[in-house]
Amino acid sequence: MKNFELEICANSVDSCIAAQEGGATRVELCQGIPEGGTTPSAGMIKEACETIDIPVHVIIRPRAGDFFYSDTELRQMVYDIRVARELKADGVVFGCLTPEGFYDKRANGILLEAAEGMAVTFHRAFDMCADPERMLEEIITAGGFNRILTSGCAPTAPEGATLIGQLVYRAAGRIGIMAGSGVRASNIAELARQTGTNQFHCSLRTDVPSAMQYRRSNVSMGGTVIIDEYAQPTTHPELVRETVNLLRSI
């Protein structure tokens, strides 16, 4: 496969560096990985954009949960897009739904206007919509979006491969369809074969042990959400390199 895109979901500047070292074509920068990804800090955006040479796309998602946003949240998202632009990010990633699970023309329009001139991805809000085929056409008709990130409305892209393939066929080159969620070196070749897409989104992280020596293991900063306080999931360059080489060999 000659013309592929491998986007790495990067949760830190270290992950951005690893993505570039491994040969990724782009990073999606985010925080809040256990929540599905939320908007990173201005400091992280600035450092990432100044540190790596491949494009940096910033997720614009003010909170976890659903994708129906209040006017207060939309104003916050517009400001975050402006900050990402000022800090030299190449693109942004967002998506808004109506309470009924359809394309929110008003909300997405507000964000698209703020992002004019930047690359824009409609993220996995797509996977929570009520009608994927209708959603695809509405996103294309709206204009301004370069691609849709989707798992095929399934928990992982391999599980949703049939729908992803249908979306690729229906899109017919009018918009990119990027397969994401559960994508790794062990399944990416088969996923490419099943779906016909050449765009993939994955994290390829491993746990990096904390340098902390003193550890209070009975206290968690996540409350009822159990996480390892003393390990940082970080993209590994060798995992990226292995996946890139697999794509090149297809």
3-state SS record for 97-133: ECCCCCECHHHHHHHHHHCCCCEEEECHHHHHCCCHH
Distance of CA 104 to CAs 17, 92, 233, Å? Answer: 35, 17, 33
Give yes or no for residue 240 having a pLDDT over 80.
yes
Token couple for 167:
């979306």
3-class DSSP state for residue 232? strand
pTM of the predicted model, to two decimals?
Answer: 0.93
* Whole-number percent of the chain with pLDDT over 90: 88
CA 108, distance to chain mean position in Å, is: 17
Which helix H or strand E contains 75, and what residues bound it?
Answer: helix 71-86
Q: Rounded to an integer, what distance in angstroms lies between the CA atom of residue 111 and that of residue 229?
A: 35
Token couple for 162:
């049939």
CATH number of 5-210: 3.20.20.380
pLDDT band at 201 (very low <50, low <70, confident <90, very high): very high
Could you tell me the residue ranges of all domains in the chain?
A: 5-210
pLDDT for 177 equals 98
Token couple for 220:
């968690």
- The pLDDT of 207-219, averaged and rounded, is 87
